[in-house]
Structure 1
Amino acid sequence: ILAAFLPQFYGSRPPPRTILVSHDLTEATLIEQGLAEMHKLKYGVSVMAPQRGDKKRIIDFVAKNAQEALVRHAIERAGDAAGLAKVAEIFGLDEAPQRIEIYDNSHVQGTNKIGAMVVAGPEGFRKNAYRKFNIQTTDTGDDFAMMREVMTRRFKRGLEEGHQGDPDKWPDLLLIDGGVGQLNAVMEVLDNLGIADDFAVVAISKGPDRNAGREWFHRRDEMPFQLPIDDVGLMYMQRLRDEAHRFAIGTHRARRGKAMIASSLDEIASIGPSRKKALLQHFGSGKAVERAGLADLEAVPGISKAVARVIYDHFHGS
């Protein structure tokens, strides 16, 4: 297995001079020659299984970490199976869900609005199925309108692409970060699309003290309820919700960072991406560029005296 893995792993990346492995490989010489020829290396590659010294200690350390990671993965998978079974029991599903979609929205006072969809199932989190939505809803801070937009875009497209009923692409369960208002917004969209009965929908809201373990669960036409703090299903759904929140916040921060960089420099026709990057790296912010003197602007690498004059005049007047 290891002999087949090395050429595959280093097929798209240049190998180091020394590759340490846990045991001797009869194919070591062939692998060394193949990697050198594949990447047209000017240096030799050595595949070795150290028996003593620092390199042996490195291999032992890596093997120990790999074994511990494998155990953690097995425990997590077992936990996922138990969590899925408990979720099915809690919500009266016929079987453990194969695809759960978790939704969370993020914004700051209605700006840089992001909707996030995280997907989980028996195999754990399916990160290749995560999706982000750049929300276009114009109503500043209207969380319900944002949720309606996300649901409409997600499921209208799914219907158009023929995903309905496909267990790999169509959910068994939706978990919504929010309360009754978000639940109603979601159900309104699903009703309009005629798919409200396709899967279970649950909104999860935090209690007044916002402590983990005090969550309320909301479903259409049912009384909200809480679960015991040590409930396996509760802990599993907390992990799903936290992952959706992490993904939403991370995506929102990335978008907000791009928006901040798109400063008043964008108003200057002669300032392209490379010059803007040079200015921001030199001064630290768009505001600092605005306050800079002509000599300071001329000192920026890649900014000519003529361009510096254009920038200075833009902010200070000709």
Structure 2
Amino acid sequence: MTDPASYRPQAGEIPTSPGVYRFRDPHGRVIYVGKAKSLRSRLNSYFANPAGLLPKTHAMVHTASSVEWTVVGSELESLQLEYTWIKEFKPRFNVVFRDDKTYPYLALTMGEKFPRVQVMRGDRRKGTRYFGPYTAGAIRETMDTLLRVFPVRSCSPGVLKRAQASGRPCLLGYIDKCAAPCVGRVTPEEHRALAEDFCSFMGGEAKRFIARLAKDMSAAVAELDYERAARLRDDISALRKVFERNAVVLAEDTEADIFALHEDELEAAVQVFHVRGGRVRGQRGWVVEKVEDSSTPDLVEHLLQQVYGDDGDSHGRLPREVLVPVQPSNSADLAEWLGGLRGAKVDIRVPQRGDKAALMSTVRENAEHALKLHKTRRAGDLTVRSQALQELQEALDLPVALLRIECYDVSHVQGTNVVASMVVVEDGLPKKSDYRKFSVTGAAAADDTAAMHDVLTRRFRHYLLDKTAQVESSQLPDPGPAPADADNVVPDTTTPAPRNRFAYPPNLVVVDGGKPQVNAAARALADLGIDDVYVVGLAKRLEEVWLPGSEFPVILPRSSQGLYLLQRIRDEAHRFAITFHRQKRGKAMTVSALDGVPGLGEAKRKALLARFGSVKSIKTASATELMYAKGIGHSLAASIVSHFAAAGSAGDAVPTINVTTGEILET
């Protein structure tokens, strides 16, 4: 690794002007491109204290061997130059948005003599009009339907040349799905007019064409030309089918791209809906590995740069509005740059209310599902799981294979309703039947470390008890051979005892937290005399892995499958703990005057309330009257009467209240 001090520029060499800088490795390859309002301030931040940099930035400055910069006249110029260099050099340490799938577009090659309609993927070409993106099935159906009304050429150049040479059209020409310009059925000008109509229809002028065909159909009926009227009727039906495929979600003059993202500590998923003519015409998605020091506005800025810059000729496809979840960095300069690509003003804004904000929430939900699907696919692959377990074992220097991993998390709100969760992963997959929940009370609920010590102690005390019980059962004396008299033999109809819940110890215990939580967990195992279970902690801030007694954490590479596995386990433990905490908190939201009656459970409380209607009526009822309620016997009725008599004499008549709002629920 390179020492950053070896290539640090001298003091005063770096200008204070805005500009763009590049880090290069020893082979001269550009590994990072960035921009800054002040080059001196920004570059000095890399060299002032390299040890304090975030992991990926630390790796970048130690991989590089030189840095160079270019001064520009304004922040807009720096934005343009940064994008140009990122596209040219594809630096490994920059954020790169990669499509999570390849989307097809419906394209017309308007630059050719006979424009051709086709399905295209990949890089954009000049002189070609694009519509979409679409899903693979929808685009084929749309194209086939529209060729009935707009019979534009769709054959390859080879088929076109053969038709021109032979003087006979291809099959599409015979079935009226091509105007056959190759054999002179229509002139090049007439064929181009068809292509222009095709583009106009796809561009949002569908109602105009449908109205024109309806007028022609009425005229044909008036002339008694029913055959032509029937063809026009079928054409109208075909156009309406395409037109109505996309539901109207916004006003018909809306031209917008709506972006949303969902991110965690390692990755971000982005989704965009393309709205044209008020209809969602297409959808795209990306999943990107995050850079530690990049904020959400930075992500949005790089996203818009790459999406619209990579589209090549954006004129006619970049919309009037770009709706984003947060304003990107350098929003004004970015809007000016996009306006230059479009040839008209582009408005970048965050929708706050109304239909656009509602659609934004739908796009955000799609992004959330996309990230979950991405992580599920990672977790579901056997090879990836095996690689993750092996990487984790090697990184932590463990002598045993990680066949079973347990993860613990503590959840509470300001020290109330403290709970903990235990989730289990075997062979890299969750084993939900072994998940456990813990309620933490008393001194153990004082703080997170005490709660973690208590939970680990309880869990592994059960394990030791189960282990002892198994040893004792295996040492029982042999009952001996069966009696010789077969007629007196009683068949063994007993079922095996169920397996104890904590019979299997894990190879690795993961706790959600840093050094204090790890040391508390290790101390709990040491107090029980358990020395064959290893403990690590995963801290959320920088995804550091802590070992017991260690002064420094283990830093796993951001692309490590082992880190992905730890993160998934930690997130699952957090989800499970939060769910249990909310359930417990919900039950604690109400208290009742009936709660303190000995022997009166929930079912009998409901029976009393169903019989008497309120707690007030129950308080005034006699023991004989109480016995009319289902499940209330003589002794319990007497207990209820004496309880309320004692409460009344002590002035403790407590109604049922909501402890959060103070609202009286039962009187």
TM-score (norm 2): 0.29
What displacement does 1:156 show?
Answer: 1.5
What displacement does 1:311 show?
Answer: 6.7
Give the partner amino acid of 2:460.
Answer: F
Q: Distance in 2 between matches of 1:112 and 1:139?
A: 12
Match of 2:545 in 1: 217
Match of 2:537 in 1: 203
| Residue 449 of structure 2 corresponds to residue 121 of structure 1 | no
Q: Distance in 1 between matches of 2:441 and 2:654?
A: 31
Please state which structure has a larger fraction of its residues in helix: 1
Match of 2:454 in 1: 149
Match of 2:9 in 1: none
What displacement does 1:94 show?
Answer: 3.0
Cα RMSD of the aligned pairs, angstroms, is 3.6
Per-residue CA distance 1:25-81 (angstroms, 9 max, x = gap): xxxxxxxxxxxxxxxxxxxxxxxxxxxxxxxxxxxxxxxxxxx9xx95994444322
What displacement does 1:109 show?
Answer: 1.8
Q: Structure 1 runs of 4+ off > 4 angstroms? A: 71-74, 267-272, 274-279, 305-308, 310-316
Alignment gaps of 5+ in structure 2: 1-372, 471-501, 621-652, 656-663
Identity, in percent, stands at 39
| Residue 559 of structure 2 corresponds to residue 227 of structure 1 | no
Q: Distance in 2 between matches of 1:77 and 1:112?
A: 39
Q: 1:306 to 1:181 in 2, by over 3 A?
A: closer
Matches for 1:48-59 after TM superposition, within 5 Å: none
Q: Distance in 1 between matches of 2:443 and 2:592?
A: 22
Q: 1:272 to 1:129 in 2, by over 3 A?
A: closer
What displacement does 1:135 show?
Answer: 1.3
What displacement does 1:262 show?
Answer: 3.7
Q: 1:266 aligns with which of 595, 603, 607?
A: 595
Q: 1:185 aligns with which of 509, 520, 545?
A: 520
Please give the secondary structure, in 2, of the residue aligned with 1:96: coil
Q: Distance in 2 between matches of 1:305 and 1:262?
A: 17
Q: 1:243 to 1:306 in 2, by over 3 A?
A: closer
Moved more, 260-269 or 170-179: 260-269
Please give the secondary structure, in 1, of the residue aligned with 2:467: coil
What displacement does 1:86 show?
Answer: 1.4
What displacement does 1:162 show?
Answer: 0.9
Of structures 1 and 2, the larger Rg is shown by 2
Please give the secondary structure, in 2, of the residue aligned with 1:102: strand
Please give the secondary structure, in 1, of the residue aligned with 2:525: helix
What displacement does 1:220 show?
Answer: 2.3
| Residue 619 of structure 2 corresponds to residue 256 of structure 1 | no
Q: Distance in 1 between matches of 2:424 and 2:466?
A: 18
Q: 1:262 to 1:77 in 2, by over 3 A?
A: farther
TM-score (norm 1): 0.59
Q: Distance in 1 between matches of 2:613 and 2:529?
A: 63
Please give the secondary structure, in 2, of the residue aligned with 1:138: helix
Determine if contact 1:107/1:113 at 8 Å carries over to the other structure. Answer: yes
Q: 1:310 to 1:156 in 2, by over 3 A?
A: closer
Match of 1:244 in 2: 573
Give the partner amino acid of 2:610.
Answer: G
What displacement does 1:273 show?
Answer: 3.1
Q: Distance in 1 between matches of 2:447 and 2:462?
A: 23
Match of 1:13 in 2: none
Matches for 1:71-110 after TM superposition, within 5 Å: 75-110=380-415
Matched residue count: 218
Q: 1:275 to 1:81 in 2, by over 3 A?
A: same
Match of 1:171 in 2: 506
